[in-house]
Amino acid sequence: MKLIDGKQVAAQVIEECKQEIAQLKEQGIAPGLAVVLVGDDPASKVYVGSKVRKCAELGLHSEKIELPADATHEEVLAVVERLNADEKIHGILVQSPPPPQIDEDAIVRAIDPAKDVDGFHPVNVAKLALEDATGFVPCTPAGCMRLLKEAGIETSGAEAVVIGRSMIVGKPMALLLMGKDSNATVTVAHSRTKDLAEVCRRADIVVAAIGRPNFVTADMVKDGATVIDVGINRVEDASAPRGYRIVGDVDFDAVSPKCAAITPVPGGVGPMTIAMLISNTIKAAKLAQ
Ligand code: NDP
């Protein structure tokens, strides 16, 4: 069984980004990312903090815009519009989930598609479906694809089962796997799928993006399959320093002995997401010239 080391691949992506940043600097271009945080959700604060820190570490221009939990939809919209017009900013993301008075879909649609480094704007969703390389691919599935590539997993002609159909992970992942660069035969499973275990057992590649701890069990995975675990779930653990630990959507201990390759949680898909965000920001800066 091969453990796919997301930290190592993410470090490699970051190294490539550093070289591109240096080249852009020679042309007088500094890629810039703006991260908008509305409210004080603790997990969102952590995510935003690490994105901004990574930008600083790489010498990227970044802006963190924090709005109070009672900010109005119009106030958030005004921030997005200001950032759309700001030439120093090439990438904009509004951390999810915003407070309930904010219409998240409308905010995503207000972001200039050329600055939508999360890849959630309908224009970028369409570009992904059209396999138009000028679009932005959502960071997490883009990271999963890179992990498969670096691990040397053959996708062409492979049976892939993606569990989950969210716009953030499952659906774009399915599009990427079935695209002409990958050529997998893709099944997308979700909560209404009948006989999920049977469907999963067909898979050479299983991508789990469900949000339920240890959901994928050994009986759902065929011998020699590759498993990509996107899940990030907190489970209580009195023996852990913080009283909880992070587990994936896959029962790693039971599933991993059967696999040809598998991503751990933490240390698998997670580290790839920020790396791909930086990569998308650089792409946005290049396309803006
Ligand atoms: P969503 O809640 O948006 O989607 C979950 C999907 O799982 C849905 O399509 C749902 O089906 C499906 N599902 C739920 N229960 C079952 C079931 N019993 N059987 C089959 N399918 C089921 O989650 P996300 O896609 O946003 O995230 C998925 C996981 O990935 C989470 O753990 C999240 O924390 C993690 N994540 C990790 C990231 C990273 O950087 N590594 C980034 C983003 C997410 P239905 O549509 O029918 O409801």
pLDDT tens for 114-162 read 999 999 999 999 999 999 999 999 999 999 999 999 999 999 999 999 9
Task: Tell me the CA–centroid distance for residue 202 and ligand 1, in Å.
Answer: 21
DSSP state of 111: S
pLDDT value at residue 61: 96
Decide if 171 contacts 188 (C-beta within 8 A): yes
Please state, in angstroms and rounded to a whole number, the distance separating the CA atoms of residues 230 and 14: 20
The reply to whether 23 belongs to the active site is no
User: Which ligand 1 atom lies nearest to the CA of residue 272?
Assistant: 40
The reply to whether 118 belongs to the active site is yes
Strands 185-189, 61-67: pairing is: unpaired
Ligand 1: residues with CB < 6 A are 140, 163-166, 168-170, 189-193, 196, 209-212, 230-233, 249, 269-270, 273
pLDDT value at residue 287: 98
Could you tell me the residue range of the domain that residue 44 belongs to? 28-113
User: Which ligand 1 atom lies nearest to the CA of residue 211?
Assistant: 32
Mean pLDDT (whole number) for 236-243: 95
> Which pLDDT band holds residue 14 (cuts at 50, 70, 90)?
very high
Same domain, 167 and 80: no
User: Which ligand 1 atom lies nearest to the CA of residue 249?
Assistant: 32
Count of structural domains, the chain: 2
Mean pLDDT (whole number) for 72-81: 98
Summarised one tens digit per residue, pLDDT across range 25-60 is 999 999 999 999 999 999 999 999 999 999 999 999
pLDDT value at residue 204: 99
Catalytic pick from 95, 116, 249, 283? Answer: 95
Please state, in angstroms and rounded to a whole number, the distance separating the CA atoms of residues 80 and 209: 29
Same domain, 182 and 70: no
Residue having the nearest C-alpha atom to atom 47 of ligand 1: 191
Summarised one tens digit per residue, pLDDT across range 152-209 is 999 999 999 999 999 999 999 999 999 999 999 999 999 999 999 999 999 999 999 9
- Residue 99 half-sphere exposure toward CB, CA atoms < 13 A: 16
> Which pLDDT band holds residue 91 (cuts at 50, 70, 90)?
very high
Question: How distant, in Å, are the alpha carbons of 30, 36, 218, 225, 280 from that of 159?
Answer: 42, 39, 18, 10, 28
pLDDT value at residue 196: 98
pLDDT value at residue 19: 98
CB neighbour list of residue 120: distance below 8 Å, 6 or more residues apart: 108, 138, 167, 168
Same domain, 183 and 105: no
Of 286, 277, 226, the closest CA to residue 216 belongs to: 226
Domain assignment of residue 287, yes or no: no
Same domain, 152 and 216: yes
- The interface pTM score, or ipTM, of the predicted complex is 0.99
Angle between helix 122-130 and 170-178 (nearest 10): 30
Question: How distant, in Å, are the alpha carbons of 119, 123, 124, 136, 158 from that of 129?
Answer: 12, 10, 9, 11, 20
Domain assignment of residue 16, yes or no: no
Decide if 107 contacts 72 (C-beta within 8 A): no
